[in-house]
Structure 1
Amino acid sequence: MLLLALTCAVAVGNLYFAQALTPLAAAGLGVSPDAAALAVTATQVGYAAGNFLLVPLGDRLPHRRLLATLLGLTGLGLLGAGLAPTLPLLVAASAAAGLTSVAAPVIGPLVAGLVAPDRRGEVSGLLASGSIGGMLLSRAFGGSLAETLGWRAPYLVAAAVILLLAWVVTRALPATPPPPTARGSYLALLAAPVRLLRAEPELRRSAFYQGTVFAGFSGVWTGLALLLAGPVYGLGAPAVGLLALVGAATMICTPYAGRLTDRRGPDPVNLICLLGTLAAAPVLAVGTLGGAAGIAGLVVGTLLLDVAMQCGMVANTTRIYALRDDARSSLTTAYMTCAYLGGSAGSWLGARAWEAAGWPGVCGLLAVCATAALARHGAAVRGAPEGECSGS
């Protein structure tokens, strides 16, 4: 489990460390920073495509071989990015690395099939801790190494680490055969997430929770950058990065949320997390005061929001992994697609809320998202037979 959590950390970190390299890469390649930022965009676009095109293969191929192949291809993509002589080649290599950096959503269904059902929440929390750690630490890793050894060094070091992990995975993970019921064409496999969304109400419910909460989360961070850079605080982008480090505490909370999910079921954890998301809105609104009180409100509010979102994800994934043993990867694809669509919509709505009503409008958007999810949760609990919503 620790090896898989480390693999999640490294794979997720590959999506973020390049954000700290943009100015140095621009200078090294003789292009503008805006142009160099295309490499970061290409990585994110590649990752979104990989979730749709590659993650469902976990329902068709042996997980160990699939995971090792994805890690190996990611390593080659990072190696190509580190050696790229021109920006177009860097963008292409970054897109290829992002496309195959889907180890985390492949590992989740793998682990769900390796452990007992009453431990799925616990291991999901552990994997979430690894992903959060990789996301938070990767920018510091990339920036520090690039300042010392140049912008290519983080790519080359990351390539070496992930290629080593690919080799270790082939030695350490148990061999798991593909599901015996997996049949049909690749196109049919790509259509499976849509079919599952139609057929599984609990999948739709989990996806709705995560989509709405992630929308509020993304809207808050979109507005937060504008708030900190505005006249109330007069701070720059580094302040946003420092505030994001508050989320490191989430690494401690997600394993506990997983164990609680195993004991009580996902619904009580979802309820606590949705209430925490709603409570974060008035706490964050204190940020309009500025000064020490405003900063305190932003720190506590972002921490509460981050913990609520990540712990809620642990409960949601535990619920969906219990639905279909033969389609966990397709379930993951459907769930993650809805979550990212919600996050994208939230970023756009956050900017609109800022334009219309400033920071209070952004906090209001978060409250609306949390209220919608709570209303859906209440309807589900009231409509389920007694005891059904307390577990899978």
Structure 2
Amino acid sequence: MSRLLVLLLSLTCGISVGNIYFPQAISPLVAVGLDVPPDAAALVATAVQLGYAVGIFLLVPLGDRVPYRPLITGLLVATGLGLLAAAAAPSLPPLVAASALIGTTTVIAPLVSPMAAGLVGEDRRGAVIGMLLSGSIGGMLLSRAFGGSLGEWLGWRAPYLVAAALLLIIAAVLAFAVPSTAPSSAQRYPALLGESLRLLRTEPELRRSCFYQAMVFAGFTAVWTGVALLLTSPTYGLGAPAVGALAVVGAATMICTPIAGRQADRRGPDVVNLACMIGTIAAAAVLVGGTFGGVPGLVLLVLGTLLLDVTMQSGMVANQVRIYALRPEVRSRLNTAYMTCAFLGGSAGSWLGVRAFAHFGWPGVCGLVALLAGAALIRHLVAIRRGAVFARL
């Protein structure tokens, strides 16, 4: 793969992934615009996360069966139409339904990653995955800032319209730029879906990676759903653009993920996972300081969300390096199982984050993050100890 192609695919990942995250920033605006309670408006963010998990399970396995070029461009067009439907939604139920559709079809990044892994050597795989993930991170962070600022200026429908235009433009470009690849499997569609479930049953390293990311990503989405409620609450009294501005601080993560990929290539993914889980628990401790309010609280929110962004995304790189090394001929199906579990965790985290904030305030959200990361850390330490015992035998 040329560097230019990697950069183009990284940009594509960013544009696609942004559709999952900008609804988090405009949730308060949706509540006002549609005259619904804030916790009801948060269902939009939950629906797109859940739709993404469904789309990964149903559509990403097609990467082993259908050439990537028509598959990727077709899904981009479908997502653009879903965004237009969301922009025209007259009430909350149609918006939630359109959000689920957007999440289902915007599964470009999980398709691009295994495609790229098959086009580079094993010695570059972690670095390329890290570069693609940097694009996804850029989309995730900038989309919150874009959504919050544009929504505050032109209303909550404007981010959906602009996102639709961007996706349709990038679809036209990729119709010529995506490599012409031959399918690696002739299995029928039901067999492809069944294979992802079978891999979860038969590959313990895949199950381990899925559990790690589901736990950490659930904490991540809980924080970003809850922080929108915190910043717009009387504690801070800020608007939706503040959520986007806070997200931009995490742009440093775009630098860290290629480094994490190189470390996973050099030292192995287990070392990177261990550091990331410990870092996630530390981030939860720092984020508790957001309850102070004022400038001190904002500073701690910035530091905590930055650390959380770095640890979650670096752990994602390590997990994907581990699973792509298992069976090269089924990478899309491995990634299907992995990403489905990750985003099921993410959708659960959004739901749990709202409930934790409603019942226990911001400290409840931070405690939830620590609890989830602690579960992943215990599982990881058990795996490391078991591996050490087997090595001595």
Shared fold per TM-score greater than 0.5: yes
Matched position secondary structure for 1:384: helix
- The alignment status of 1:373 with 2:376, answered yes or no, reads yes
Say if 1:151 and 1:365 are closer, same or farther in 2 by CA, change over 3 A: closer
The 3 A distance-change label for structure 1 pair 337 and 250 is same
Corresponding residue for 2:104?
A: 99
CA distance in structure 2 between the aligned counterparts of 1:166 and 1:387, rounded to whole angstroms: 49
TM-score calculated relative to the size of structure 1 = 0.83
**Match for residue 314 of structure 1 among 297, 317, 324:** 317
**TM-superposition CA deviations, 1:38-78 (whole Å, max 9, x none):** 87666555433321211111121122231122223333444
Q: Which of 348, 355, 362 matches 1:345?
A: 348
Q: Which residue matches 2:120?
A: 115
- Asked whether the 8 Å contact 2:17–2:140 carries over to 1, the reply is yes
Is 1:327 paired with 2:330?
yes
Partners of 2:95 and 2:388 in 1: CA distance: 55
How do 1:243-322 and structure 2 match up within 5 A?
A: 243-322=246-325
Shift of 1:94: 5.3
By how many angstroms is 1:304 displaced?
Answer: 0.9
Alignment pair present for 1:132 and 2:137: yes
Structure 1 residues 360, 189: closer, same or farther in 2, change over 3 A?
Answer: same
Task: Give the distance between the partners of 2:46 and 2:284, measured in 1 at CA.
Answer: 29
Counterpart-to-counterpart distance in 1, 2:94 and 2:381 = 51
* 1:164 partnered with 2:169: yes
Alignment of 1:200-279 (within 5 A): 200-229=203-232, 232-235=235-238, 237-279=240-282
CA change 1:225–1:165 in 2 (3 A) is: closer
Deviates more, 1:43-52 or 1:221-230: 221-230
In the alignment, the residues of structure 1 paired with residue 369 and residue 31 of structure 2 have an alpha-carbon distance, to the nearest angstrom, of: 36
Preserved contact between residue 146 and residue 154 of structure 1 (Cα < 8 Å): yes
SS of 1:15's equivalent in the other structure is: helix
Q: Which residue of 2 aligns with 1:51?
A: 56
Structure 2, gaps ≥5 residues long:
1-5
CA distance in 1, matches of 2:85, 2:326: 40
The Cα of 1:191 is off from its aligned counterpart by 1.9
TM, length-normalised to structure 2: 0.83
Cα distance change of structure 1 residues 324 and 285 upon mapping to structure 2, 3 Å threshold: same
CA deviation after TM superposition for structure 1 residue 144, in Å: 5.5
Whether the aligned pair in 2 keeps the contact of 1:23 and 1:33 (CA below 8 Å) is no
- Residues 187 and 154 (structure 1), Cα distance of their counterparts in 2 relative to 1, 3 Å cut: same
**Cα distance in 1 between the residues matched to 2:156 and 2:381:** 50
In 1: Cα distance, 2:361 partner to 2:83 partner: 40
Q: Distance in 1 between matches of 2:44 and 2:364?
A: 32
Q: Which amino acid aligns with 2:178?
A: L
Q: Call closer, same or farther: CA 1:200–1:17 in 2, change over 3 Å.
A: same
Aligned partner of residue 326 in structure 1, secondary structure:
helix
Query: In 2, distance between residues paired with 1:380 and 1:247?
Result: 30
Aligned equivalents of 2:63, 2:198: Cα separation in 1 = 17
Can you list the C-alpha shifts for 1:196-247, whole angstroms capped at 9, x where unaligned? 1111111111111111112222333444445445565454554433322222
In the alignment, does 2:379 pair up with 1:383? no
Q: Which moved more, 1:341-350 or 1:323-332?
A: 341-350
Matched residues, percent identical? 65
Matched residue SS, 1:184: coil
Return the letter of the residue paired with 1:307: V
Q: Once the two structures are superposed, what CA deviation does each residue of 1:361-390 show, in whole Å capped at 9, x if it has no partner?
A: 4333322222222221122122226898xx
Q: Which moved more, 1:315-324 or 1:13-22?
A: 13-22
Q: Deviations over 1:306-327 (max 9, x none)?
A: 1101111111111111112122
Quickly say closer, same or farther: Cα 1:387–1:369, change in 2 above 3 A: same
State the Cα RMSD in Å: 3.4
Show structure 1 runs of 5+ residues with no match: none
Structure showing greater radius of gyration is 1
d(CA) in 2 for partners of 1:86, 1:229: 24
- Residues 74 and 276 from structure 1, CA distance in 2 versus in 1: closer, same or farther, beyond 3 angstroms? same
The equivalent of 2:76 in structure 1 is: 71
Q: CA deviation at 1:121?
A: 1.2
* Bigger Cα displacement from structure 2, 335-344 vs 107-116: 335-344
Query: 3-state DSSP class of the match of 1:61?
Result: coil
Q: How many residues align?
A: 383
**Judging changes above 3 Å, is the alpha-carbon distance between structure 1 residues 145 and 317 closer, same or farther for their aligned structure 2 residues?**
same
**1:162–1:342 Cα change, 3 Å:** closer
Cα distance in 2 for partners of 1:370, 1:90 equals 32
Measured in 2, the distance between the counterparts of 1:200 and 1:154 equals 41
Output the CA distance in 2 between the equivalents of 1:333 and 1:96: 18
State the match for 2:3 in structure 1. none
